[in-house]
Structure 1
Amino acid sequence: MKTHEFLSFLQENPNKNLLFEYKPGELVGANYHITEVKNVTIDSIDCGANPDFWKETIIQLYESPLEKDKREYMSAYKALSILNKVDKIKPMERDVEVKFEYSNPNFHTAQLFVNDLEISGENLIVKLGVEKTDCKAKETCGIPETMTETSSACAPGSGCC
């Protein structure tokens, strides 16, 4: 999902509660805060020596231990006002992928993609998910697109990486 799509979703539903589902059936606590917005530029080389370049917006969510008993979620309006304030100081790229960075004691720190948006009564639910790492140079490494995770084509001595 692009940053502008997420911002539009919030703008279209200002009076709804904003919830984040970080894995199926598991929600970020109502005590979350938006603690950082990152404008990230990735300038990389993959294992096939191919350069790549892209930008992302990463919004960090943090559950405050001081508000662990909080039951009311942040409204889309409040989240949008935070993001608009950030945007005035350090403008966000609108046409780039938006991700959410999150962790809790039972879930490792991860940058999560938006898989889906759902409106359920008074709630906006942002369904997040992980994306597995992948070899971008499959042709160079001789890895077929249909290869399974248990294959050893990219094993040491195979010529890959």
Structure 2
Amino acid sequence: MKLSEIKQHLSTLETIAFELPNGTLVPSHFHVTEIGKIDKNFIDCGGTIRNEQVANFQLWEENDYDHRLHPEKLVHIIELSEKVLGLPDLDIEVEYQGETIGKYNLDFDGKHFLLTNKQTDCLAKDKCGIPAEKPKVKLAELQNASCCTPESGCC
């Protein structure tokens, strides 16, 4: 989800809820403690230099049960971040504290913002010898019908 998309979704909501991949909700007294831009400059295992940018939201909760972040306040924080940090319309990555800091992609189901699992991947499969996914073929298509008849002696 991009920054423009979250602002659009927030404009339709009365409350904000983030749902973890296991279906539980982040407690409603969460705060967005940071919005920033993360630049990742790296070289992949095939030797290609890469650059990725994401807008990073950090969700945090504590024993502050009296405050709730309202949609219009989060829109204001996002717009301030865009202005002050010069954020373009980037994809959003969300950090949330579990056993360690988890990093999630963001989606929306019409009611909740969904924290979706991120996956690692090899970006240079063609250069590091990782074969492409094997095609799925039906065994019946591989067999020669003439050699597998009952009188062929193959069984």
Measured against the shorter chain, the TM-score band is: 0.7 to 0.9
1:140-159 CA-to-partner distances (Å, cap 9, x unmatched) read 11112327xxxxxxxxxxxx
Task: Determine which of 8, 15, 18 is the counterpart of 2:16.
Answer: 18
Task: Determine which of 55, 74, 78 is the counterpart of 1:83.
Answer: 78
State percent identity of aligned pairs: 26
Q: What residue ranges of structure 2 are gaps of 5+ in the alignment? A: 135-155
1:33-74 CA-to-partner distances (Å, cap 9, x unmatched) read 11011111121100111111121100110012x32x45x753
Pairs within 5 Å for 1:1-161: 1-11=1-11, 13=12, 15-64=13-62, 66-67=63-64, 69=65, 73-94=68-89, 96-104=90-98, 107-114=99-106, 116-119=107-110, 124-146=111-133
How far, CA to CA, are the matches of 1:50 and 1:85 in structure 2?
A: 35
How far, CA to CA, are the matches of 1:74 and 1:118 in structure 2?
A: 19
What is the TM-score when the length of structure 2 is the normalising length?
Answer: 0.76
Say if 1:22 and 1:128, in contact at 8 Å, map to a contact too.
yes
Say if 1:3 and 1:98, in contact at 8 Å, map to a contact too.
yes
How far, CA to CA, are the matches of 1:73 and 1:24 in structure 2?
A: 23
More strand by proportion, 1 or 2?
1
Say if 2:31 and 2:68, in contact at 8 Å, map to a contact too.
no
